[in-house]
Structures are given as structure tokens and as C-alpha cells.
């Protein structure tokens, strides 16, 4: 039996990258995984790749969409054991380029979306459940063009601390994970044709001279989701190849 046998999990932003890799690991461990994202076609492909999964298209910024997600979880009748609040965007814009529209989109998805995802899960979260939030090394850095993204991820880190305190009485563990550079479609969306060049430049400054594969981040997420991390509350696990550590 797998370590997540009989468990129910939700992964937001689960159609690609870290979310998809994590959903695959959870399903391989025996969990039934609900995956959500804004692109229905990509979600269906993801479900086919994951196996034991259900696609629930939706936007984490929209309360009604999040309600619909948890209604599907409720219908399954077993509550929720693992919640990976992972959906995020990262448009690159300097202060001069940062419009109100871009700023609001980043905070709506990365911060409000995380809030709605966790707040609306409370009625279905089982006692002893694990909640993992995707923060980022950018939340502590000052890279040009990433001020709004970094600020949004600093907010997510603050959520993890406070929510761990608030939900600990139910045995619900809330933790954050801070990936460094990962080869995911988020880089393509952020840098377009320069994505490969930017990944190489970042990799050159890391001890292993490479960026992470999404599955390497997913392995850390599943650790936080499992009973192996039963005494870990409010932590921020860096999986950054040494980017913010050395």
C-alpha cells in the first residue's frame, strides 16, 4: 500500500509543472487527486497522465469556482487530507513597466487565490490534514522585474505561519515550499523566447549548474503532505539548489 492510500488530495494549478508532478506522485501513492486549473483541455490531458484523478476546471480567483471544486470533494464523501495550493503566475515587469492590471492579476491569483483555496477548504479538511502553499525564493530576493511576484510570495509565506498556528488545534499542518529555478512552463510564460537563455544564466550560479526538474520539487511537497513530516508546522522548505542558501 502507498503512503497516501485511501486519501483525498486537491492540487491547484495541477495541469503542468510542479502541480502536475505533485499530483502524479500523490496518485502513485494511492490518493485520489482533484486537479484544478483554468485550461480545461490541459486539465484533461493531466488527468490522463495522473491516473487516479478528477479534473475540475476553474479559476482560484473566483469564489464560485472554488466552491464548485470543494463540492466535488464533498460528493466523494471522504473529506480532504492533502491540499496543495500551488496556482500562481509570474509576469516579469519592472516598476516602470508594472501596470495596475498586471499587479492586480498577480495578487488576485497568487494571494487571493491561495486565501480562497484554503479558506473554502475548511469545511471538508479532515483533522490531521496537510496543507502546502507554494511560496518562492523570490519572496526574499530583490530580482529586477519580480517585485510584485516576490511580494505576493512573501504574503503566502506569512499565510503559512499564521494558518499553522490557527489550524494546529485540529492537527492540520500548514507549511510552505519555496522552489528556486524550475524548468516549467512558467518560465516560458514569463520570458518567452528568452526562457532558455534565462534558465542557463540562473543555472550557472548554482552549485550543480542546473535548474530543478518539477519532480524534484514534487518530492519535497509529498514529504510535507505525508506523515513523515508529522511534527513540521509553519515551515518554509527551500528546494532551491542553494540559490538562497549559499
What CA–CA distance (Å, rounded) separates 176 from 84?
10
pLDDT of 129? 98
Average pLDDT over residues 136-143: 90
211 CB burial (10 A radius; 0-12, 13-18, 19+)? buried
Q: How confident is the model at residue 188 (pLDDT cuts 50, 70, 90)?
A: confident
Q: What is the DSSP annotation of the chain? A: --TTTT-EEEEET-SSHHHHHHHHHHHHTT-EEEEE-S-HHHHHHHHHHHSSEEE----TT-HHHHHHHHHHHHHHTS-EEEEEE---------TTT--HHHHHHHHIIIIIHHHHHHHTTTTTEEEEEEEEEE--GGGT---TT-HHHHHHHHHHHHHHHHHHHHHGGGT-EEEEEEE-SB-SHHHHHHHGGGHHHHHHHHHHTSTTSSPBPHHHHHHHHHHHHSGGGTT--S-EEEESTTTTT-
Strand ranges across the sheet with 8-12: 53-55, 32-36, 8-12, 80-85, 125-134, 173-179, 236-239
Whether the predicted pLDDT of 88 surpasses 80 = yes
pLDDT confidence of residue 48: 96
Measured between alpha carbons, how far is 20 from 30 in angstroms, rounded to an integer? 16
Residue 10 is predicted with a pLDDT of: 98
What is the average pLDDT across 120-147? 95
Q: Which whole number is the average pLDDT over 61-67? A: 98
Q: In the chain, where are the structural domains located?
A: 8-237
Least Cα distance to 179 among 208, 197, 153, 151 occurs for: 153
Q: Report residue 34 CA to chain centroid gap.
A: 14
Query: What residues have CB less than 8 Å from 243, skipping those under 6 apart?
Result: 137, 180, 181, 202, 205, 206
Q: Tell whether the model's pLDDT for residue 187 goes beyond 80.
A: no
Query: Which residue among 70, 149, 233, 238 is the active-site one?
Result: 149
Residue 1, pLDDT score: 66
**Whole-number percent of the chain with pLDDT over 70:** 100
Least confident stretch, 61-65, 77-81, 207-211 = 207-211
Least confident of 37-46, 183-192, 196-205, 206-215: 183-192
CATH topology of domain 8-237: Rossmann fold (3.40.50)
Give me the pLDDT at residue 194, please: 80
Choice among 105-109, 166-170, 183-187 with the minimum mean pLDDT: 183-187
- Whether 149 is catalytic: yes
Judged against a pLDDT cut of 80, whether residue 186 lies above it is answered with no
Amino acid at each position: 500500500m502507498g503512503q497516501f492510500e485511501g486519501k483525498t488530495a486537491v492540487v491547484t494549478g495541477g495541469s503542468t509543472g510542479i502541480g502536475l508532478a505533485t499530483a502524479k506522485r500523490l496518485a502513485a501513492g494511492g490518493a485520489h487527486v482533484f486537479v484544478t486549473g483554468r485550461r480545461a483541455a490541459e486539465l484533461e490531458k493531466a488527468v490522463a497522465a495522473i491516473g487516479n484523478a478528477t479534473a475540475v476546471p476553474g479559476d482560484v480567483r473566483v469564489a464560485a469556482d472554488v466552491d464548485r471544486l470543494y463540492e466535488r470533494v464533498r460528493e466523494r464523501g471522504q473529506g480532504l487530507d492533502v491540499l496543495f495550493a500551488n496556482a500562481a503566475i509570474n509576469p516579469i515587469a519592472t516598476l516602470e513597466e508594472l501596470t495596475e492590471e498586471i499587479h492586480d492579476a498577480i495578487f488576485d491569483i497568487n494571494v487571493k487565490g491561495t486565501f480562497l483555496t484554503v479558506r473554502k477548504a475548511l469545511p471538508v479538511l479532515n483533522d490531521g490534514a496537510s496543507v502546502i502553499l507554494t511560496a518562492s525564493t523570490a519572496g526574499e530576493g530583490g530580482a529586477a522585474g519580480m517585485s510584485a511576484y516576490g511580494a505576493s510570495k512573501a504574503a503566502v509565506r506569512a499565510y503559512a505561519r499564521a494558518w499553522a498556528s490557527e489550524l494546529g488545534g485540529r492537527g492540520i499542518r500548514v507549511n510552505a515550499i519555496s522552489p528556486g529555478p524550475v524548468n516549467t512552463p512558467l518560465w516560458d510564460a514569463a520570458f518567452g523566447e528568452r526562457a532558455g537563455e534565462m534558465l542557463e544564466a540562473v543555472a550557472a550560479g548554482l552549485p550543480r549548474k542546473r535548474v530543478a526538474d518539477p519532480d524534484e520539487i514534487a518530492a519535497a511537497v509529498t514529504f510535507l503532505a505525508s506523515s513523515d513530516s508529522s511534527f513540521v508546522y509553519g515551515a518554509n522548505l527551500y528546494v532551491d539548489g542553494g540559490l538562497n542558501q549559499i
